[in-house]
Amino acid sequence: MSRIPFPIKDMKRRKLPTLLTILSLTISVASTIFLILMGENIGFNLESVTGGQLASGFSLIFSRFIVFVSILNLLTGALVVLFLFSLAMSERIRDIGVMKAFGCLTSSVFGIFATELFLMIFLGCIIGTVAGLVAYLGVSYIIGLSYLSNVNWWSILLVLLGFFLLSHFFGAKPIVKAIQMKPADALSSSHLFGTTTEFSGKSLSRFGLTLRVAFRSLMRRALPTRNIFLCLTMILTLVTVAVAGGLVAKETTVNYLERAVGRDVILVAHKDMIEQYANLLLQFQEAKPIKTVDYFDLRYAIPESLIQQLTNIPSVTKSEKRLLFETTVYEGYGVIIYPFDSSAYYFVGEGRSGKTFAMGIEPANVVSNWLIQGKPLTNETLDSAMIGASLADTMFTKPLNQTIKISESSYEIAGICIDPFNNGNVSYVSFNSLSSSLREFGNNLLFLKTNRKDNTQFLAQIDSFLSETNFEFLELNSVLDENISFLEKTWSLVMLLPLSSLATAVFCLFIYLMFSITEQQREFGIMRALGTKIKVVAKIVVVQVLAILFASSISGASIGFLIVYLLMIPEPIISLSTIYALMILIGLAIVFLTLFSLYATLKVIRKPILETLHPLLISPDSDSDV
Amino acid sequence: MKDNKEKVVCVSSLGKTYQIGDVKIRALENVNLEVTKGELVAIHGPSGAGKTTLLNIVGGIDYPTSGEIIVFGQNLATCDEEYLATFRCAYIEFVFQSYNLISTLTAIENVAFPMELAQWPEDYIQERSKELLEIVGLSHRADHFPSQLSGGEQQRAAFARALANNALLILADEPTGNLDGKTGKAIIGILEKLKSDGKTQIVATHDEEILQLADQIIKIEEGRIIQA
């Protein structure tokens, strides 16, 4: 008699289920660790090129994307463990009945299977961590990111702990359910079969044998069907969030950028001011040195007569004057009143200050259309300011409840905008609210929005008006396109990350299907022994796979889209081309999943009949003393 | 006399070897057997003698390693899986030792399954399934799943399924092996009726009553026929 403990002996003899469970855990842990480490590394790299951090509004969406995909990854791994253990335990109920019938205490039976669960989770987590780290280091090395200093061991520990606890929680549920069964119930033949509900299938009789048998089997094996539906829904939610989230986030952030800068806008200003403005816009992608400029140099003030001439050009659809200047701004304190007790309040703010850029704008004529949290500026709100997201993050505690002091005037912060200008370190106030000394100077920037169709002629007209002045013009589209290109490159790097999740999804599904179909293979064997051709059995399984994939695709894609639209991205933008791209990508994912599942199916179906009629999953060459 | 009758099964020099790990197990060795139309052949012998293997090969769900197996004029050893499936559907029905009812189908649906495969009209299938359940005394359990039937009831449902397509050859593996005396007698009654209807049957059994009913008794030990 072997002295190896029962759980280890049991795991060794049930090689396939043991290996599949460990493998699915390994892949889930590895891809989550890879995702988080790569996400952080790409974040570090973005920070280093932008000289601090990516403009807050943009990095918020980026980090939300990583967080959502990581959480879904974690949940998928835990759910797969739950389902694998549900299947494994449904196969073992009879064994449990025998153990209990021979006097094994419930706690001892639990101990045996809990030990198996612990060992599999432990092995999966350890191997997964090593695999995730190796994948991260390898990919970082290949794409040329610095990596060694950026390994966040706390993140790894957190992921491990999350997986360890979630997997134990989910994996213990089917064990507890199985061991609570009375020995007589566990030994009865009713647990050898998965039949759980009535479904006559009479309504399907006109659709022929294949559909009828496929749907009967699906509907009557309610528990496995529900499990695979839930598992696939989770996997397809992950796929949708990864694909749709990435594409929509990319399109939306590009849109935020376009809205903030303005499309088809011409900037008219002194050469120094044009250089300075363009440089400040490009701070979004790279931290370049900023020249010291005297913004109130009279040479920079644009004469009103010139403004009138340019504004009167027929192609100009909108014109806006701005006064740009650098100044020290101060954080003002705010009062927060408790929601349920109007007499109780507390102060927020630390009296911080810092050098930043401010712009006096004409709220009614702005060429920008920022994404704003809070309220936009109006001509009437002279005591209000709008600040960039990065400034709000770095200098304010609860910005929308606080004030900001700019050039000796104090303003309530009405809104926070997403703006690439100076990487979001900027504040806007109404020109009319500026002090009289500033107003007397006038404006140093003029923005003209035009109809692009007659651009050449329009530019020639502007050129002729400016030829005898010190002023020049710049098409902002060129700067905007540079920023968009940077943002798109960033997203294309970020979009690589969910590939690891997609791989997890596909592998988990494959493993689950192998299990699920193996469970049904005896039935296939009986059908074939009765004269059903392999082709017909394959058709039955294909119908089952397609039905489940169709149902779970609809629910998974819907939940995924809801997460993307309601939780992940504020004011999401989705164009027709993105819809087509999404449909193609998600369609491809479904086709891929179908082919994978069919591979698993055909592998099982093609087994010799006798092999399918006998209990499988136990290696025939294993030693036999249990 | 036998030579004048139509030969249904003709087995010559049949051998079957299983490989489990490094060990080779000879399940059948140089088996020769002839079964004519309408005969009830009983195969008996100790457990592990090769009875089930012989039935599986005659039924076309397993291939021999050597020798020839001709059933209704077809050499099954040379047929592919697809052809064998069609062949089984048309000529052969099984009654397995472990019943092998499809768990997600009710008793009546299990009986109907071979007829659905053979694409009989829906009305005929319904009527015939009810009739067969009536014959085996299971009409009151028609809508029950296999898990809700006792062993004897499952065995009777399996017999009803075997009769569904009026198969010319019925193979039964220990049909009374797991049953109590009363249910066993009911099954023997079915075998008798099939015999009187002119069906060819090969039954692997230890049951004395079935052996008495048989036209031909074959004793098999360690894969060899030792008495025919």
pLDDT tens track for B63-120: 899 999 999 999 999 988 778 888 888 899 888 887 888 877 889 988 988 888 888 8
- Chain B's closest residue to A529, CA to CA, is B61
Question: Model pTM?
Answer: 0.66
Paired tokens of A56: 């807050």
Whether residue A602 contacts residue A538, with contact meaning beta carbons closer than 8 Å, is answered with yes
Residue A407's nearest CA partner among A444, A372, A365, A436 is A436
CA geometry: angle at A280 spanning A572 and A257, to 5°?
10
Residues in chain A whose Cβ is within 8 Å of chain B: 189-195, 205, 209, 212-213, 216-217, 220-221, 522-523, 526-536, 608-610, 613, 620-621
Instruction: Give B91 to chain A, closest Cα distance, Å.
Output: 10
The CA distances from residue A623 to A9, A131, A243, in Å, are: 9, 32, 48
Instruction: Give A6 to chain B, closest Cα distance, Å.
Output: 23
- Chain B's closest residue to A185, CA to CA, is B147
B86 touches chain A (CB under 8 A): yes
Band (B45; pLDDT cuts 50, 70, 90): very high
Measured in degrees and rounded to the nearest 5, phi and psi for residue A198 equal -85, 135
Residue A423's nearest CA partner among A323, A309, A284, A604 is A284
The CA distances from residue B142 to A233, A575, B150, in Å, are: 36, 57, 13
> Taking residues B166-179, what's their average pLDDT?
87
Give the alpha-carbon dihedral of A478, A480, A482, A486, to 10 degrees: -170
Q: A187 to chain B: which residues are within 8 Å by CB? A: none
Instruction: Give B137 to chain A, closest Cα distance, Å.
Output: 21
- Record: contact A192-B148, CB cut-off 8 A: no
Whether residue A409 contacts residue A434, with contact meaning beta carbons closer than 8 Å, is answered with yes
Q: Count Cα atoms within 13 angstroms, Cβ side, for A423.
A: 20
- Record: contact A194-B89, CB cut-off 8 A: no
Task: Using the structure block, give the residue that is written with the tokens 């992921």.
Answer: A159
Q: What pLDDT, on the 0 to 100 scale, is given for residue A617?
A: 32
Print the SS3 string covering B154-201. HHHHHHHHHHCCCCCEEEEECCCCCCCHHHHHHHHHHHHHHHHCCCEE
Beta-carbon contacts of A466 under 8 Å, excluding residues fewer than 6 positions away, are A268, A306, A472, A473
Q: What pLDDT, on the 0 to 100 scale, is given for residue A626?
A: 23
Q: What pLDDT, on the 0 to 100 scale, is given for residue A103?
A: 67
CA geometry: angle at A92 spanning A91 and A95, to 5°?
135
Task: Using the structure block, give the residue that is written with the tokens 């090395």.
Answer: A141
Q: A609 to chain B: which residues are within 8 Å by CB? A: 61-62
The CA distances from residue B100 to A321, A352, B97, in Å, are: 86, 80, 8
Cα–Cα dist A510/A358, whole Å: 57
Q: What pLDDT, on the 0 to 100 scale, is given for residue A449?
A: 87
Paired tokens of B61: 């769900």
Beta-carbon contacts of A52 under 8 Å, excluding residues fewer than 6 positions away, are A287, A423
CA geometry: angle at A477 spanning A356 and A363, to 5°?
50
Q: What pLDDT, on the 0 to 100 scale, is given for residue B3?
A: 52
B59 touches chain A (CB under 8 A): yes
What pairs with residue B40 in β-bridges? Answer: B201
Mean pLDDT for back-to-back runs of 10 residues, chain A (626 residues)? 65 77 82 78 52 56 75 75 72 72 74 88 91 84 64 82 85 82 62 48 63 80 78 81 79 82 89 91 80 88 89 86 91 83 81 90 87 84 87 88 88 89 89 82 89 74 85 89 81 70 68 67 83 84 82 87 79 75 77 73 75 49 31
